[in-house]
Amino acid sequence: MGESILPALIMLGGIGITVGIVLAAASKIFYVYVDPKILAIEDVLPGANCGGCGLPGCSANAEAIVAGRAGANSCVAAGSDVAEAIAGIMGLSIEAKEPDIARPGCYYGVAKADQKYHYDGLNDCRAVAMLGGGMKICSIGCLGLGTCAQACPFSAIVMGPEGLPVVDEIKCTGCGTCERVCPKAIINLSSVTRRILREYTTDDCTTPCQRACPAGIDIREYMRRAANGDYQGSVQVIKERNPFPTVIGRICPRPCEDECRRKYAEESVAINFIKRYVADYEMQSGTRIQPYKAPDTGRRIAVVGGGVEGLSAAFFAARLGHAPVVYEAADRLGGLLRSAISRYRLSHEVLDWDIEGILEMGVEARLNQALGSDFTIADLLGEDYETVFLASGGWDSRLARNEADAVNEFIPGTYLLIDFIRAGRNDDDRIQVGRNVVIISGDNLAAEAAEIAARKGAATITVLLREDLENARLDQGAVERLEKVSAKVVYGAGISRLAGKGNTLETVSYTDLQTGAQTEIPAESLVLAAGRYPELIFSRVRTAAAEGEIQPSVAEAIGWAAVQPYKQPEFVSEVGLFAKGDVITDFSGAIKAIAGGRRAAASMHQLMYDIPIDVPLKAVTSDCVIQNVDAVEEVRIESRRIMPMAAPRELDQTGQLELGFDEDAARKEASRCLQCGLICYEHTLAAGAADIDASKRIA
């Protein structure tokens, strides 16, 4: 018996040894390396595998974090302590971030549609959208089947009685699952930062008045709140996109009212007068109402210019969590609002009220500080401002400061053409040129500027024109004069970037408008044929010093680059400085300057966080094909309220030409708003008629 067991044991032992050797070899051959950081992050993550991060489980999220595809705070099921622990593993620092909250963007549910489409056998919005486009009336409207509610891993969404998603903000973690599953972008993540950075797209349910407003104010919502007597809430909605509500309520050209759908029944709603009423309500109450702002990021930015655009840029930057400082050459903020508008239309008390609100948002102002004499761009960058925004105003701003004869060099080595030519004609030595001179001009004055540059010692002269050869505004005489000074003319060129070090310009980059090719040329001097310096964002370019190299002063050592804020969506296809739609005098209206300030703040934010400065491809413009209506039905005729005016003999007593609405007029006028959506709107009733059945409403 024992003799028969021994061979079996020896055989089993041999098999075991063989298997062990094979497994050991296989472990060497098929060994899969796992980054220790991934394992460490997996240990820190809660292991919920909820999918809220948008990835299939915590292991996938850990891999994405290490690969840089996800942030240290990407786990929505964990708290800030987990994000800080992951940041420590990755050797990163973490900034406070306001929470994202899912936000529905549709006003009317399926139940209120004029026509009903039944999706028999289908209970998922994505399937409906794929099979039939999901069209009822509105191509953007909610399908109402509740896929977002079914997909939410935290039960934060339910379908409300209107057939629209309702979000529980306490339960919502901002994971974005609902946003990913909604086929029509009805429900999206929202936050202060997202709202400031975004441009409206053709996927959004926007109203005609909102699309016409340069600042993009949610007019429908602030009118609804005003009609309900919630004046503070109305002001807060306005300040989401406009930090000057009391000012704009008096001086706005009101393009929104031109597009008001109420005009199809009788007269447009007095939208701007309602803005004035609720803003005056805030001012008279003495209680400041502020929109929400993001947590402090610890990042400092400088804004040069305390006019509408500069103050607006600082306001929105502060709301993004940054610490902006405004530098103003005059002794008061406000720019042309203070110097160029009659006090009967805009009193200084009203202007100061709105400016004080901007400062209270977290904006610091330094007055009597002139760029070029009291400080330079390099000085600011040397003070650890991460970006500097130039909003210095135009020629009219110089006249208001009695500086018509001044020679400004706000950008290193850069002059306005009018100053350059005047200095050349008068042998004014306040303007000096470097070896390489670039002239941006579109007409015959480029020839005179080139001759002046040659007389002042320029070795190479380059003239950049946006127009192609066929459309250039140079006559033959100007071309011959340019040839005499050996100036090179480049046609179809758009300036895309300036760069230099300290207070010296070094290079100019331009884009070929036909091919998109980028070219960088040396330039110590730049001449601009415009009535103002362009809006530019300056940021530091850090360069490593050679070992043993003697370090110059901080300002002299600062390498910098300057780029434009992104262009308004209407001109997104334009490239380079002084393109169509760019500001080359002053804004035609303060409301447009406010919009420019928000775009500047958004661009600075994107630049600091290395986010591409760009406009979404689907951004709404006047050329977009968007569903709309050209008639309204079942709307009660109700005349527009007229703004009461002061008689000429009463002006000194009232101090203002327009006296403003009283509360009764304001609420009744706000109630005329049809509460529009993309093509939907509230029907009103003829006097004494019963309520219209919900199925008769457009949705």
Residue-wise pLDDT for 666-687, tens only, equals: 999 999 999 998 888 888 864 3
How much is the pLDDT for 656? 83
Please say if the pLDDT value at position 326 is more than 50: yes
Domain 296-407+533-543+552-622 and domain 412-530 have a common topology = yes
How much is the pLDDT for 591? 92
Beta-bridge partner residues of 149: none
CB atoms within 10 A of CB 79: 10
Q: Are 620 and 626 in contact (CB under 8 A)?
A: yes
3-state secondary structure 366-396: ECCCCECCCECHHHHHHCCCCEEEECCCEHH
How much is the pLDDT for 343? 87
User: CATH number of the domain at 101-190, out of 3.60.20.10, 3.30.70.20, 1.10.8.60, 3.40.50.300?
Assistant: 3.30.70.20
Please say if the pLDDT value at position 398 is more than 70: no
Please say if the pLDDT value at position 274 is more than 90: yes
Higher pLDDT, 609 or 52: 609
Residue-wise pLDDT for 211-246, tens only, equals: 999 999 999 999 999 999 999 999 999 999 999 999
Residue-wise pLDDT for 207-218, tens only, equals: 999 999 999 999
* Token couple for 696: 């008769």
How much is the pLDDT for 397? 65
Mean pLDDT over 488-496 rounds to: 93
**36-90 CATH fold:** 3-methyladenine DNA Glycosylase II; Chain A, domain 3 (1.10.15)
Cα dihedral sign, 417-418-423-424: positive
Q: How many CA atoms lie within 13 A of 563 on its CB side?
A: 18
DSSP string, 428-462: -TT----SEEEEE-SSTHHHHHHHHHHHTT-SEEE
Higher pLDDT, 306 or 475: 306
Helix residue ranges per DSSP H, 142-191: 147-151, 177-181
- In the chain, the percentage of residues whose pLDDT exceeds 70 is 82
For the chain, the domains span 36-90, 101-190, 208-290+627-696, 296-407+533-543+552-622, 412-530
Tell me how far apart the alpha carbons of residues 555 and 562 are, in angstroms, rounded to a whole number.
16
Residues contacting 550, CB < 8 A, separation 6+: none
Tell me how far apart the alpha carbons of residues 585 and 564 are, in angstroms, rounded to a whole number.
16
Q: Are 381 and 538 in contact (CB under 8 A)?
A: yes
How much is the pLDDT for 22? 63
Cα dihedral sign, 214-218-224-230: negative
pLDDT range class, residue 23, cuts 50, 70, 90: low
The distance from CA 637 to its chain's CA centroid, rounded to whole angstroms, is 39
Average pLDDT, the chain: 84
Tell me how far apart the alpha carbons of residues 174 and 645 are, in angstroms, rounded to a whole number.
49
Higher pLDDT, 442 or 537: 537
**Strands 536-541 and 493-501, sheet pairing:** unpaired
How much is the pLDDT for 547? 46
Residue ranges with strand state E in 53-119 = 101-104
Tell me how far apart the alpha carbons of residues 667 and 226 are, in angstroms, rounded to a whole number.
6
Residue-wise pLDDT for 640-657, tens only, equals: 999 988 888 877 777 788
Mean pLDDT over 306-320 rounds to: 96
Please say if the pLDDT value at position 309 is more than 60: yes
Residue-wise pLDDT for 68-99, tens only, equals: 666 666 676 666 667 667 767 766 555 666 77
Helix residue ranges per DSSP H, 68-158: 80-90, 125-132, 147-151
CB atoms within 10 A of CB 358: 24
Give rounded-to-5 percent helix, strand, coil for the chain.
35, 15, 50
Residue-wise pLDDT for 375-394, tens only, equals: 999 999 999 899 999 998 76
Residue type at 189 in one-letter notation: L
Residues contacting 310, CB < 8 A, separation 6+: 303, 304, 326, 328, 335, 389, 391, 597
**412-530 CATH fold:** FAD/NAD(P)-binding domain (3.50.50)
How much is the pLDDT for 77? 66
Q: Are 144 and 165 in contact (CB under 8 A)?
A: no
Q: Which of 48-57, 168-177, 247-256, 344-353 has the lowest mean pLDDT?
A: 48-57
Please say if the pLDDT value at position 59 is more than 80: no
Angle between helices 445-455 and 417-425 (to 10 degrees): 60
How much is the pLDDT for 692? 40
CB atoms within 10 A of CB 285: 12
Please say if the pLDDT value at position 524 is more than 90: yes
Q: Which of 126-135, 195-204, 303-312, 533-542 has the lowest mean pLDDT?
A: 126-135
User: CATH number of the domain at 208-290+627-696, out of 1.20.1270, 1.10.540, 1.10.3470, 1.10.1060?
Assistant: 1.10.1060
Higher pLDDT, 45 or 457: 457
pLDDT range class, residue 689, cuts 50, 70, 90: very low
Q: Which of 272-276, 427-431, 443-447, 680-684 has the lowest mean pLDDT?
A: 427-431
Please say if the pLDDT value at position 418 is more than 90: no
Helix (H, G, I), strand (E, B) or coil at 499: strand
How much is the pLDDT for 28? 57
pLDDT range class, residue 696, cuts 50, 70, 90: very low
Tell me how far apart the alpha carbons of residues 293 and 196 are, in angstroms, rounded to a whole number.
10
Q: Are 45 and 76 in contact (CB under 8 A)?
A: no
| Rounded-to-10 torsion of CA 640, 644, 648, 654 | -150
Please say if the pLDDT value at position 612 is more than 90: no
**296-407+533-543+552-622 CATH fold:** FAD/NAD(P)-binding domain (3.50.50)
